Chain A
């Protein structure tokens, strides 16, 4: 049952996001150099961090899928990467807006952090077409998992490579070089928590919706079979990038759903 705890999670997300917005606009002091423009930092950086963590989580779920061959891990990997892509789009747009306000350009090609994020985003943008190109669901899940593991390993490597580069044009937020005042650090951490909760909530909504749809389809097939409409023909599945969820896989261990 993917919908378990969804209401509490949604309420916590709204509460933390509201607190974060209150802190950003009414409490945290203005930054000396950028002034009001620096408020974008509290939305752009958490979006980027959560997006990258989501890509890595997709890779971890994919490892689980390759180890156990259980469909649910492929399903989770797909949803994590799918949601991370949406967060990635938001990161790129908010980053562009910040760059325009701060540097006077929508995009700067000689800034390693920007370009590396774009590379990661474009890499993951091929994930959906890759899935769509493979019709056999088993093969699709396996290939997608291999892709998610490889790309997921690339994300932290890329992050370390950018950090090790000499150009420090992009401000550092986390680590020993961070010199944020405590009010800014606290606001940033609340924003990061809010964004992480938003990511988790959206993932859970997606998982619940897709799972419910799969269950309904399975029920419809059962009803059709009982009515004698299709006694021997296997269920037809159109080509899709989304993982296929079989009713047998979902109902094989109903107690597991309750424990989750």
Chain B
């Protein structure tokens, strides 16, 4: 097991290096000269040269990439700025924003908690709802509740997040006025208290959870139906075990194994930012930060948030593979 984890970690580092290289070269090789972006309207040859020297754009791309990676790897970070005007960018150094000069890492750190709360809350919601609905549907296959769940799941899968999010916002905030308009100050649990905090997040959680809940319902139902047709379930029943033990100990445990995999990957993917939900409900998380960076062409910020998100996806992959082996005794790690 230990050896397997180490091997996967090495693979993960390799994948991250490839992703960082691709991202870096794609973004930095854009013909829209970054120097022109930075100095804005009052650009002349002199200021461009100055900016190039400051940010190191005059060096070959591969050198720039090396410097960038140094800031992420070396514990001391790296030096940025022009000669004579250098300053330290502490580890992990994702560079500084072109827009406002704030270190990208600081912005990521500030934005991350909102995204974390959003993703975790939604994840609990969709996991509980999806597995419960799927389980009930599978156990009452062909009955009304089954058809209802299947229909609901199809509906959920087809509801685009932008439409569902605004529908909730219109219904509960504008029409019924049960919930006040989102105020980003309420995103901080410890300063506003749990009630305001939950009020702030409840609609975003539902918005984000809908599609996943629908997918998990389908998945749980399909897995559960397959599992309950297995021979060992018949054996368990023949042994005289009561139905509850058969369903929960023998059936559900096996049916949930694939769900664990997907759940890990989904949550890992969301920790990089739930762009659309954050945009609809004005949550200042990573998703909002990334779309704002994209719209303002802020290359270091885009690069930083993409890499940060990729780390979560890659790490989630490893955790899931290891968990899979722990839960499912049939899996043997090679």
Partners in one complex: no
